[in-house]
Structure formats: C-alpha cells, structure tokens
A and B are shown apart, each in its own frame.
Chain A
C-alpha cells in the first residue's frame, strides 16, 4: 500500500523556510564566537615578499591574525584531487582575491580596521589569462607547469573511421566562466581546541571536509565534527573543502570559535565553473550514421586544481553524447590560469561538452539535409546497450525522452520548414533540441540509521546535506512508505558527522538513489525486528504477519509498533534501530559497476529573436528528466526547472569577465543571473517513470540533467530561425547581433 511515495507531499522544511525560522550557518550564535574577515590579494599573480601584521595584532578587540607565519603544526595545503591550495598565500598569490591573511576580532568593524593595518609587500609577476598562452612553452607558470591534468579516452581507430566517413566536420566552441550564485555565500564557524575541531559549515560533503581537517590539523576522525544545518544552495560551489580550513586555522590563533561569512563578491572569488574551448571533429556517413569522433578539450581551472582534473575527465566522457561511436578519441585537459579556481558545478563538464557536441550534431544534420531529431534518434544508444566501453549498460531510454520533448515543443509543426518563421519585420522564431547523457551517482557509499521510538515514530539519520533539493523530505517519504507510518511521524536529521553515519557526498544526483536505498534498508531492518517481536506476541510464524498503517496484523488481530517495543523493553522505554549500508558489495554487488546510473539531459526550446537588437525571448522551453520513479513529483519538477533556468543563465547572459587578471563583475548588478523576468512564457518539465532506476522503488536521481542541454537547444533554435550558427556562449544580444551582421556581410 502506497502512503507517500509518488505523491507531491509538502516538504518537511517548507514552513520553517517560508517563515524564516530555518537556521543556516550564518544564523548561528556559538558561545564565545568572534568574527573573521579575510585580506585578499589585489594582484592576480605576485610574489608575497613580506607580511607585517604586528599593528593589526595590537589593535584592541583583535583576537588573532592568520598569515603564512601562523601555520605552525598545520599541513596548510588541501585539494580534492591535487593538494595545491594553501589556507592562505604562502610564497605567492595566483589570483586576484586569493586569501593572504585573516583577522578574528570581537566585531566586524574592528576586524575591518585590523585588515587595513596589515602591510603586505608584493612583487608583481607576469600573469596568464588565457589557456592558449598558459600552454605556450616559456609562458609564466602558476605551478610547476600550467597543465593541471590531461585525460584520454580512446576506442576504435578514429583515423580509419574518418577515412571511412563520407563527410568530416570540425568545429571549435567556447564556453564562458560562470559562477554558481547560491543565495547563501560560503559561511563557516570554526572552533579549534587541543581536543579537536568543531565546524559549522556550508558543506555539501561534510565527511570529506572532516577527512581534510583531520589530516591538516593532526586529529583523528572522531575528534573532528562537521555540522551542516540548512544550506542555501550548493550547485557544487560548496562541494569538497572550501573555507573550512581557514576558519579553523583562524580559530586556532584566536583561541575562540570564529565565524567567517563570505560576501557574494568573495564567493565569486572562491570557486566557479570551468570556461572551455572544445574542438570536435566528427566523421559521418551520408545517411547520418556517426562513424568517428575526435575531441580536443581545454578547461580553464583557474589558479588551483580544485576538482579540475575530475571535471576534465567527465567533460571528456560526456562529449560523446548519448550516441554510438565505433571509434572515439578524446583528449581533455585542465589548465591553470590566474583566475578564481574552478571546481564542480552542477553536472561537471557536461554543459561544456554538450554545448560543443549538440551544436555540431545540428551542423551535421543541416549539412546532410536530415531532420535534427531524426539524426539524433538514429545514432542514439538504446536500453541495455553499452554507452561507454567497460561501463554500465544504459538502463533508460533517451530516444523516447527526446521524442517527448520534441513533441511538447511542437517540433513536427516546424519540421516542414527548414528555417524559422518571421513573426514581424524584426522578430523570427525557431525551435531547437539538445540532449546528453551523464554517468552519475559518484560512488555507492552511503549509510543510514533508522530509529523507531517507543511511540512508533521515526528519526532517520543521514549524512545527506539538505541544500534545497528536498532530501529531508525524500528520505522521510522512503522511510514512511516502507514502515507504513505517516510523514509527520518521521523526522530526518542530517549532516552532523559525529551523529549521523557516513555518506560520501551530496552531489552527482546521487542522494535519493543511494542514500534513499540506505534509508530503505534501515527501515526494512526495523520492520524485520518488529515482525520478530510480533511473532513472539502473536505466537505465530513471521510468514503469517503483515504490517499496515503502523500496526502488525495477524489473523484479524493487530498491535501497534510502539506496543511491541514496550513489550520488549518493559515499560514506556527502548527503541529499535535499523541500519542501511550501501557499498559496492551490498545489494548483490549490483551498484558496483560505474556509473550508478545514467542521467539524461534533454531540452527543447522555442526561441523568438529580435534581429534588429539580437535579443532573445523564450516563449516555450521543455525539459525531460528520466527519474525511474518520482518519489516526490513536485520536488522533481522543481529541481529540473531550477536546473533549466540555471542553464538558460549561462546560455543567455552569465559570464565572469576578467581584464588584466581583475574580475570586473563580482556582483549581481554586473553579473546577470536569471530572474522571474527571464522565465520562459511556458516552462515545462516532463518526468519519465519506467521504474528502471537502481534506487528505492525504481527511482533514480535528477537535478543535474536539466542544465546540460540548454545552450545547444537555444543556439540550434537560433540557427533554424536565422541560418546563423553561433559557437560562443553566452548568447548576449550584442553577440547575436554581431553574428547576424557578420552573416549579412556587414562586418
């Protein structure tokens, strides 16, 4: 009997959030807490000759100053792949805005005053702004080399493939630097004592932060506690370790808990998405069959590696798209430049890869005179087929999803016309498609604890960070469903590493699938214990028992869960505990092969373009997500719509602009993010539910797919409206206007 799963039940944090009661890190007051501010480098690349903080330290109200000279006993470097990022600048600074020193003071005004008393002497170094120049031998080096990582994917013989092709296409695309813009900037309260560390932080992956801090500060895991209350949006910007080491190191010098709450501008200077330059060479048969593809990808990872090497790897994998390739050869590199470090951002590497791949698919379709929908379907992998060599076969059916999207946007109505329709003398319209496939789920490493109290209610303990995606509600629904208790009998406690059991991370669309399974397993373990107790109570074999609405039933009689617990422990006391373990070996090993599942990103856009101004309006936008089973359909739609809008942001106007190594627009006045005014007139999400996911009740994750194909869907629509192909994002009015003008030969 279904009680909650599959229904749009209200999220359990809704009331707290809309009334402002929900506490975020910035709302917390820790006894003895003081305030930290960071002194940041004005230079993009400079040697730090000297730092004099004595005057700042003497200022009344200052409790401590942190510089490279205050790191004794601390391993100052961290990084999820390469440990190249120091807590504060050591020998040199590598980007404008890099932390050089920090002050802890009794209030922010004092901290600000103290920052201005710190004297830093820099020696400017030549800077590297572009990836192309970074890789030229002899150019200034940020680290030992400017090549941060290089990944390769090869199968088949592409040279032979190109020789067998009727046509070979080669195109180069660029993708801008963009910022996540989570509503809540990074915030951490660090508290260091000789016995251990407690950190309240905006961390998507608290257990990974715990490992880093334990290593850096010389503690074992039980001495490091990371607490993550509600998080105001992550999108990857709060993945892995960010400001936590600085907050803890500052607490160590101050001897107090220190609150470090970044401004939006500082968050812009903490992490961003990789800009990219992608060259794609594709060989095809005249009937549209894909034969070979060779890709050269460069990703601008900024001053430090952060997750760049992994992003390069994923971009390399994802540029193959959801298509069959007899031969494929990809080289994907992350390159250091003097700019904000780039790391994970919602579907790492995929929007860049899909931008190139899916734009070129339309170039090919147009050239061969084949409908863009048909050429995609013709080459698309099917259910059960191997997607990437050695990886899990496809469990979904992207072709059906793409057809649904095309149908929803009225693709067939336009199919008869090769190009777009003129609405008036200045307005033309066109429709475009885009799709991609991402292996997601990270690794199958999640655990959960389900506690049933003596009144039959539940507390579920998970390490999933509630960052707005609705994980607390989804986990509650899974537990509620499995144990037939109402939603309001379930509470979900998340993300306190000393209380909740281990989870690898909150990202890669993994939580409902993997943590959901762990919660389901924990609930089943509680159920098994209840049935054992009921078997004693009814003096009946377990096979004759069933559960329903919080009761165990046996031959027409029933007993409540709470009563069974009381019978066992005696009196109104005791509780039952169920454990959920998701590991590569659990569940018969079915989660071991990578990826955990394949997430589709499918978009269809109808675009209206003003040819006199270059301005784009989107009357209709459709996004398709394959969720296996929607645990909460309303939240699924919300996630997918959010992803689509974020995708339209980097498609239409988002771009971090640098000049001489200085970030020109680290604020929301000069850096445009989508608002309600930019919503398509009609924004639609279609959920596919085939029950074929590896998660509880046949579910699989979503949340990343919706961002992936926005760029190519819109650019492909512009091409169909005007015959003009644009290979750079964002599609600002001026960029579109220039492209139209160039096409008319007026430039």
Chain B
C-alpha cells in the first residue's frame, strides 16, 4: 500500500535541487514513477517527499542540432514521445524503434527516459542501446552542472553516481559516424527483458550492395549488452574481434560455416554481461543467448544499411 508522502512540484531545476538538498535521504525525484511507485507500494522504498520534475518547463523537450549531429533529450521525455519524435525517427531510427518496444504502452506513456536511467533497474533497454552512441548525461546539483558519460552513471542495480541533491536533466546522444548503422535486439518473456544486445557497425566500401556486402570490411563496430547482469556495458574485447573482418567472414551461416571470431566475440560478450542467475533464467543460458543475439544484432545492423540483403540469421 502506498504510504502518504508530500509531493513537491518545483518549476525550475534549481528549485528541485534545493528541495532535494533540504530533505536529503527522505526525498526522491519523481519522473514518471512507473518503477518508483511500485517499489513504494510494495514497501521496498520509503520516501516522505517526492520531487516531481515533470512540471519543470523545458525538460520534456527533444532537440537535434543538424550541424553537430547532437541529439538532446530532456530527462522528462516519455518513451512514447521518443518513439514518435520526427527528429529521432529520421536521424536515430534505431532509438525510435527500440523505444517503441520498451515495456508496454502504459509504461511508455508515463515513464521517462531520465527516470528509467536513474532508477537503474538492470532489466531495462535504454541503458543498453544508448551505450552504442557515445551518450553523455547532464547532471545538475547545488554546485552547478556536470556532464559525464552514460557508462559512468550506473554503478549497479538500482544504484547511480548521483548525489541525493543532484538531478539528471538531459541526455546527449551524438549521431553515429557517417555510414554506421545499429540494431538492438532483446529477449525475454517476462514483463522485463531477460537480455538485450545492441550492435552498431560501419563497413567499407559503404556503397556495396547485393552480394558485394559480403565482401565489405568492418571498419568500426560497437557492442553493448544489458539486462542480463548488474548493469549494461560496452564490450570492447568483442568489438576488437569483429574489426577488420569481412561480413562474409563474420556471418558464414548461409554456407553452414561458423566464424571463430564471431563465436569468440559472442563468448566474450556473454562473459562481459556478468549474467546473473535469477527468475529470468540461469547465467549460463543468458551468456549463451547473448552470443546468439550478438550474431543476430550484427546481421540486422549490417542489413539495416542494405535492406535488400537477407542475412541467414535475421
């Protein structure tokens, strides 16, 4: 049962920060509440004060700078708004698609990107797919503003580096390098994802099509895994194994073959996820599945640039 609490509705980030400073551990930012209120109803968390930042003007805006290719997402933008944002749909189609698959429609309509990242529920998508970009987050506290990489925000399950009196205000997502495309795939049958794997890749020559894509060489690749372990991570060791290889070398499945590099990258990605045994399944199964989904996400990312090519694994 939800216990009584006082709801504060500041109209500026500064006011929110000072309220948080005043109440300390008794207060928490409310930014959608799809996770927070559930936990409070269950008695797992208790706060006497909630500071609603959804009422702060400007935090619900999405901006895209054509020149720098930088996407700026306010903390209180809902998943639904991200899914339907014309700027995101045209410049970050992978984010629009992934946001459209977050949780369910009720959560997407109320839940926000900032709330999602700050709650740090490990079984969650945005924290993983945003790692495919060099995403930064802006944080405001009593001493002013700081900007840190998204990878440094989450420390572990339900734990961030935010101080009690700090507010995450904005997420900054730079465009992929020219020619890079991405895919994020998730798996699970529970309400929350069991695992998620994101891959973004750039191959050269960029103009190749049809069967020529098989001969294209991977010149840049990013791998991110989430949900399976305590927090989402980039897997640099897996990326290195895929670099410089041709698509045909990495995806020989159509000829019944296996790629030792892809298999090794899959294994490393599985290990890097630090998968836990839980109600979703064993860590062993999740490690295996991350490998399967790394191949599939890689194939999807490659094919996203060349929709005419059907990958054997798609």
Contact = CB atoms under 8 A, between A and B. Distances in A.
The judgment on whether A and B are partners is: yes
Given A108-B1, A109-B4, A668-B191, A734 B292 contact: no
Contacts of A652: 189
B190 interface: yes
Which interface residue of B253, B285, B312 has the most chain A CB atoms within 10 A? B285
B292 A109 contact: no
Contact of A613 (B190, B253, B289, B312): B289
B279 A670 contact: yes
Nearest to B314: A424
Interface string B275-296: 0000101100100110010000
Interface in A659-681: 664-665, 668-670, 672, 678
A378 B33 CA distance: 60
A556 to B, nearest CB: 63
Contact of A734 (B190, B253, B282, B313): B282
B285 A734 contact: yes
Given A425-B253, A734-B281, A734-B282, A612 B3 contact: no
Contacts of B281: 732-734
A738 B282 CA distance: 11
A112 B1 contact: yes
A669 B192 contact: yes
A214 interface: no
Contact of B3 (A112, A657, A669): A112
A312 to B, nearest CB: 30
A415 interface: no
Interface string B300-314: 000000000000110
A664 B289 CA distance: 24
B87 to A, nearest CB: 29
B279 A657 contact: yes
Interface residues of B, number: 18
Nearest to A668: B191
Contact of A425 (B3, B279, B312): B312
A70 to B, nearest CB: 23
Nearest to B289: A613
Contacts of A678: 189
Which interface residue of A37, A665, A672 has the most chain B CB atoms within 10 A? A672
B189 A732 contact: yes
B184 to A, nearest CB: 17
B190 A672 contact: yes
B133 interface: no
B47 interface: no
Interface string B1-35: 10110000000000000000000000000000000
Interface string B171-205: 00000000000000001011110000000000000
Interface in A603-657: 612-613, 615, 652-653, 657
B9 to A, nearest CB: 22
A737 interface: yes
Contacts of A37: 1
A163 interface: no
A668 B253 CA distance: 38
Contacts of B288: 737
A525 B70 CA distance: 81
Contacts of A109: 1, 3-4
A520 to B, nearest CB: 45
A572 interface: no
Contacts of A734: 281-282, 285
Contacts of B279: 657, 664-665, 670
A489 B191 CA distance: 45
B275 to A, nearest CB: 12
Interface in B99-127: none
A79 to B, nearest CB: 30
Nearest to A263: B1
B313 A669 contact: no
18 contacts: A108-B1, A109-B3, A612-B292, A613-B289, A613-B292, A652-B189, A664-B279, A665-B279, A669-B192, A670-B190, A670-B279, A672-B190, A732-B281, A733-B189, A733-B285, A734-B285, A737-B285, A737-B288
Interface of A: 37, 108-109, 112, 424-426, 612-613, 615, 652-653, 657, 664-665, 668-670, 672, 678, 732-734, 737-738
Kindly list the 5 A-B residue pairs having the minimum CB-CB distance in the complex, ordered from nearest: A734-B285, A669-B191, A734-B281, A612-B292, A670-B279
Given A37-B1, A612-B292, A652-B189, 20 more contacts: A109-B3, A109-B4, A425-B253, A426-B313, A613-B187, A613-B289, A613-B292, A653-B189, A657-B279, A664-B279, A668-B191, A669-B190, A669-B192, A670-B279, A672-B190, A672-B191, A732-B189, A733-B189, A734-B281, A734-B285
